[in-house]
Amino acid sequence: MRKWGLFALGWALILVGSYLAHAIQTSGGTRIEDVRFAGDKGIVQSGLLYVPPGATAQHPAPAVLVSHGYINTREMQSPFAIELARRGFVVLAMDMTGHGYSEGAVFAPRDMGGPPALRYLQSLPFVDKANIGMEGHSMGGVPISAAAAAQPDGYKAIVFEGSTPAFLGAAAPKSFHNFQLVFGQFDEFAPLMWGVPKGSMVASSPKLAKVFGVTGPVVEGQIYGSTADGTAKRLVNPPVTHPWEHFSRAGVGGAVDWFQRTLTGAASPKPPNDQIWLWKEIGTALGFVGLIILLMGTFELLLTLPLFASLNHPMEPVAERRGWKWWLAFALTAAVPALTYYPFMKWGQLFFPMRLFPQYIQNQLLVWALLNGLITLVLSFVLRGGKPNFTHRWVNGVLIAAVTIAVGYLSLAIVNGVWHVDYRFWVLGLKPLDARHAVMAIPYFVLWAVFFLIALRALAANLAVKGEGFLVQHGAWKLAMCLGFIALLAIQYGVLFSTGLLATPSEPLNTIVAIQFVPLLATFGALAAFTYRRTNSYVPGALICAALLAWYVTSGTATHWYPGFKVQIPGAARAR
């Protein structure tokens, strides 16, 4: 029975966590539907629809359209959706065009699908069309601003979370009904959004003063105008960062409070601080941990089958102990990827979106990864000690990796189909691939496989030690993979919380993207160690990691290429 242990534990964590998440997001009888609706120019858009039990055609309920930010998906707005739905609001969490399951691309169309999403929400018979609000985080301000411009009287209240009207040239009305801004004191995008150096200075922004119709600084927390006639305006400036705005009691509570003040007819009003959404995130986090354990357990079970029996081989490390070369290899493995992250991501801007590789952020990440692979190859000659002895069975190695990742994918397909949940926590999110994204992931997988074959070979050659215990090796490999990014983020956010500015103020997006590197790289280190110990080969682990990362990034980031796409050379590239 021992061989079934990890497999059973993985399934247990997945099912318990997913059911917990489902119970929280359906609290009070809320019904969740995965919906598709018509966008403009033939585009099909996607959303999660939250319908409280009191919302019927006979008793329409107030409703809120919520939108995620750049390189995110509709699930990122679940804290707002859960809290609003359990108070009696219908909620449509939309996928912006080019994101999630919505077709199109980033800014194709320009309004990111906001006006069609508002029209769809208005068309539902159980929605009170006179009581509709909108909320958007970061780039999610683009679709709600465009929807307000398309229908100036089609909504009653609006909340910008870490965002700004007319962001990136989006359409916007001359004025907004019942406008609220929630903007973190440590928001990394303060200069871009509101023209002030720090988020704590947003109250003195001339742009905000214009929105509020005042001549001096806006008083935080004060309501200007009247909610009754739609002229109310309020600034909320909590001590949070940009990605924390949609994952904090302050950010969620500020939006909930505003909609309870400005929209009428909610069946179950509650205090803004009465929030349960975090338990849903805990549930889906358990699901993510369960997935990784399930992958390990599946791999271990498959090794007991006759088809894969030839892969069983104890590891044969070169190093007898942790000498200076081991510590040097550990330090370089941890430090080099973090030190090269910002410059290589800039170079990655030259890997323009194209039909085969349509996701700009993933393209940049691949440039960073492949250049680090090249550095690893060079360093392998410098650090070379004894010749590593690997035991490769390429055909079976590919097959066992494919079956292992297929079982993991099946687990997600099951819980998503039954309970409308995926595996995520905050900025970390793994969701099922639709057909379009599944095809898109294939060429990305090939390039990720090249990187992981190089990187995991180096781990096995340089960081494996004879006689090393399971926990020690797993811990060392996980730390080697993610420690550099832990240090990078500690420096960035230590400086931010001390001064109000990042250590590199010009890199807000890449810094936020780097947050998810810590759990992801630790995961890859664990999978690499686990599979190597059992096969004396880095190949199966490399292919599993490549498939997992291609799946992860492709399903969760934005698509930029579309027929007729024209390359616009970024400023950093033009400067070179």
Q: What is the pLDDT of residues 19-54, one digit of tens each?
A: 999 999 999 999 999 999 999 999 999 999 999 999
Structure tokens at 408: 């993991």
Asked whether the predicted pLDDT for residue 468 surpasses 70, the reply is yes
* Kind plus residue range of the DSSP H or E element containing 568: none
Q: 331 with 408, same domain? A: yes
pLDDT confidence bin for 574, thresholds 50/70/90: very low
SS3 percent helix, strand, coil of the chain, rounded to 5, is: 55, 10, 35
CA distance linking residue 348 with residue 438, whole number of Å: 23
Q: 247 with 390, same domain? A: no
pTM of the full structure: 0.95
pLDDT reported for residue 570: 46
Does 125 map to a domain?
Answer: yes
pLDDT reported for residue 572: 38
Asked whether the predicted pLDDT for residue 496 surpasses 80, the reply is yes
pLDDT confidence bin for 205, thresholds 50/70/90: very high
Does 16 map to a domain?
Answer: no
Cβ partners under 8 Å of residue 98, min gap 6: 104, 105, 106, 107, 108, 112, 558, 559, 560
Q: 255 with 352, same domain? A: no
Percent of the chain with pLDDT over 90: 91
Say if strands 428-430 and 423-425 run parallel, antiparallel, or are unpaired: antiparallel
Q: 258 with 343, same domain? A: no
Does 314 map to a domain?
Answer: no
Q: Is the peptide bond before 314 cis (omega within 30 degrees of 0)?
A: no
**Could you tell me the CA-to-CA distances from 493 to 242, 468, 509, 560 in Å, in that order?**
12, 35, 13, 29
Q: 265 with 365, same domain? A: no
| Count of domains forming the chain | 2
Does 201 map to a domain?
Answer: yes
Query: Which whole number is the average pLDDT over 117-128?
Result: 98
pLDDT reported for residue 1: 58
Q: 372 with 231, same domain? A: no
Q: 232 with 361, same domain? A: no
Q: 165 with 229, same domain? A: yes
Of residues 38 and 468, more confidence is placed in 38
Does 51 map to a domain?
Answer: yes
The residue range of the domain holding 487 is 320-560
Last residue of a domain, one of 254, 274, 294: 274
pLDDT reported for residue 385: 64
Query: Which whole number is the average pLDDT over 194-206?
Result: 97
Asked whether the predicted pLDDT for residue 576 surpasses 90, the reply is no
pLDDT reported for residue 575: 33
Last residue of a domain, one of 213, 247, 274: 274
pLDDT reported for residue 380: 82
Q: 363 with 482, same domain? A: yes
pLDDT reported for residue 541: 98
> What's the pLDDT tens digit per position in 87-121?
999 999 999 999 999 999 999 999 999 999 999 99
Does 483 map to a domain?
Answer: yes
> Rounded to the nearest 5°, which phi and psi values hold at 418?
-85, -40
Q: 267 with 337, same domain? A: no
Domain holding 263: CATH number?
3.40.50.1820
Query: Which whole number is the average pLDDT over 306-312?
Result: 95
Does 291 map to a domain?
Answer: no
> What's the pLDDT tens digit per position in 379-435?
887 776 668 899 989 999 999 999 999 999 999 999 999 999 999 999 999 999 999
Does 454 map to a domain?
Answer: yes
Contact between 68 and 77 under an 8 Å Cβ cutoff? The reply is yes
CA distance linking residue 262 with residue 62, whole number of Å: 10
Helices (H), 274-350: 277-302, 324-339, 341-347
Q: What is the mean pLDDT of the chain?
A: 95
Q: Which residues pair with 235 in a beta bridge?
A: 181
Q: 251 with 334, same domain? A: no
> What's the pLDDT tens digit per position in 554-568?
999 999 998 878 766
pLDDT confidence bin for 251, thresholds 50/70/90: very high
Asked whether the predicted pLDDT for residue 502 surpasses 50, the reply is yes
Q: 238 with 101, same domain? A: yes
